[in-house]
Structure 1
Amino acid sequence: MSTRSAEQTNVMAEPITVAIERTVDPVMERYALSWVRQGIDLATHYPGFLGSGWVQAAPGSETWYMLYRFADADTLHAWEASEERRIWVEAGANFAQESKIERRTGIEGWFDSIDGVVLPGEHVQMMQAEPVPPRWKQAVVVWLGFFPMNLLFTFVLGFVPGYATLPLFPRLLLTTALLTPIMVFWILPFVTRAFRPWLLRGREPSM
């Protein structure tokens, strides 16, 4: 039972992005900047670390947004439960107060507003998060992108000599290998932008 659960967990593992809003004492701004850089440097040495960054809400603002991303829940937990991070957080407790935390995973990232856009250096531009659409709407939009592309590919590849006579496994392997990057880099971004008003209808932005 435990082995099966572990296998299911590994299959379902997906990257997690954590965005933290902190109120920083403006008198300690230079020290806070050094403290943030130290935290990023510590996180980079942990397995599963995918990136991190920070930005102020506006020049001179007390509100700072800090973001980090790990490959899955286990690697994220290892960082967040580490002694190094605990000491680092305590070192900034007098001038950086945590006020809000958001975690985003999986396909929902396609339907969010941009939580973090990486800028040159180590900064991240944070934007107010839109609410996540219902999962049934997410499924509909993904299908609307996938079905016509799959249909088109099946039709076009039918003209490739020898394709129709291939066994099922190599046929599907070839189709999915070609379709996946097209879906990820072009089709999904396009359909989510096109259907965003419908996806977010009746949902209020989180404050």
Structure 2
Amino acid sequence: MADSCIQSQLTEPGQEGPVTVSISRKVKPGFEADYEAWISGVIEAASEYPGHQGSNVLRPSASTGNRYVLIYRFDSYENCERWESSELRKQWLDKLAPLIEGEAEVQRGTGLEFWFDLPELPVNKHPSPHKMALVLIAVVYVLIMAINLSLGPYLSGVDLWLKTAIIVTLQVLLMTYLVMPRVTRLLKGWLFK
């Protein structure tokens, strides 16, 4: 039984999808401005690495346990590992010690789970694949229909490949930054049960 569970989780390198890393740190009082300058620098450095897909920073609040949370994504495990084992990242981490207290809390996720991330939930708390699939089918369907209905008249003379690229780009951007964070919060009780 355990072997079949492990077998279903095995993935070939390069097929794991995007990797999302969340690192939360407690900043020493009075060092907030220095830490924010550090975060800006390390984000800029990471953005130069292949496969970097963006970063977000959550400032201290009740939902983050009064810690800063740095979230970054890479398109694959290999590219994430390339950044994390780089000499440049090590140099940035060496500058960090005087600014923080305690240990950093690191969480990682791969694949579609990043659309269902809530910072207040532990990294190992993910919806079942069935629930994720149901929500994604509904959201993708509604978004594709809405985009087609609203932009269809404007894109009627556009080549199919360009029209599809425009629709897919809008759909992914809307899902990632607008729709899925709200849907995940709205359905949190059902998704994470």
- TM class by smaller structure: 0.5 to 0.7
Q: Matched residues in 1 for 2:83 and 2:92: separation?
A: 12
- Aligned match of 1:109: 114
**Structure 1 residue 85 corresponds to structure 2 residue 83:** no
- Aligned match of 1:168: none
Give 3-state SS (helix, strand or coil) of 1:51's partner: strand
- Aligned match of 1:20: 23
TM-score in terms of structure 2 length: 0.61
- Count of aligned pairs: 153
TM-score in terms of structure 1 length: 0.57
After superposition, the CA RMSD in angstroms is: 3.7
Q: Is the 8 A contact 1:145 1:183 kept in 2?
A: no
Q: Which moved more, 1:12-21 or 1:78-87?
A: 12-21
- Aligned match of 1:124: none
Please tell me the residue identity of whatever aligns with 1:71. D
- Which structure's residues are more often helix, by fraction? 2
Greater relative contact order (CA < 8 Å, ≥ 6 in sequence): 2
Percent identity between the two aligned chains: 30
Q: Which moved more, 1:19-28 or 1:74-83?
A: 19-28
Change (3 A) 1:193 1:76: same
1:69, CA displacement in angstroms?
Answer: 1.2
- Select the residue among 21, 37, 53 that pairs with 1:50: 53
Change (3 A) 1:143 1:37: closer
1:52, CA displacement in angstroms?
Answer: 1.6
Larger Rg computed on CA atoms: 1
- Aligned match of 1:155: none
Please tell me the residue identity of whatever aligns with 1:33. E
Please tell me the residue identity of whatever aligns with 1:129. L
